[in-house]
């Protein structure tokens, strides 16, 4: 299997995306910042997008083997409020 190379690009709408260099298909990851977030970052959006993508890749490599990807969602209650954990 040949190696894939990836690039982080800024899309015409201002979002950032991770895509394969040799593929014009939809991006693998897309990051969109609100106007308020862009103001707070003071023109450092690309650096933040890179850090977010790197953290995501690291998280998959670190915890990916611990997750049960085939886990049954029987315990999931869609009416229950969800929370973001940091």
Residue 21 lies in a domain: yes
pLDDT at 56: 87
The arrangement of strands across the sheet holding 16-20 comes to 6-10, 16-20, 29-31
Residue 67 lies in a domain: no
The total number of structural domains that make up the chain: 1
Residue 55 lies in a domain: yes
Mean pLDDT of 3-20: 90
Asked if residue 86 has pLDDT above 50, the reply is no
pLDDT at 59: 81
Runs of H (alpha helix) within 10-74: 35-41, 45-63
Output the CA torsion sign for 67, 73, 75, 78. positive
Residue 86 lies in a domain: no
pLDDT at 75: 54
Domain that holds residue 32: 6-60
Q: Could you read off the pLDDT of 50-85 as tens digits, one per residue?
A: 999 998 888 877 665 665 555 555 455 555 555 545
């Amino acid at each position: 299997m040949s190696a894939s190379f990836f690039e982080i690009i800024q899309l015409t709408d201002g979002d950032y995306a991770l895509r394969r260099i040799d593929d014009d298909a939809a991006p693998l990851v897309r990051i969109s910042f609100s106007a308020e977030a862009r103001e707070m970052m003071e023109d450092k959006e690309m650096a933040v997008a890179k850090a977010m993508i790197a953290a995501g890749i690291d998280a998959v490599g670190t915890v990916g083997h611990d997750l049960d990807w085939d886990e049954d969602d029987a315990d999931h209650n869609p009416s229950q409020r969800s929370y973001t954990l940091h």
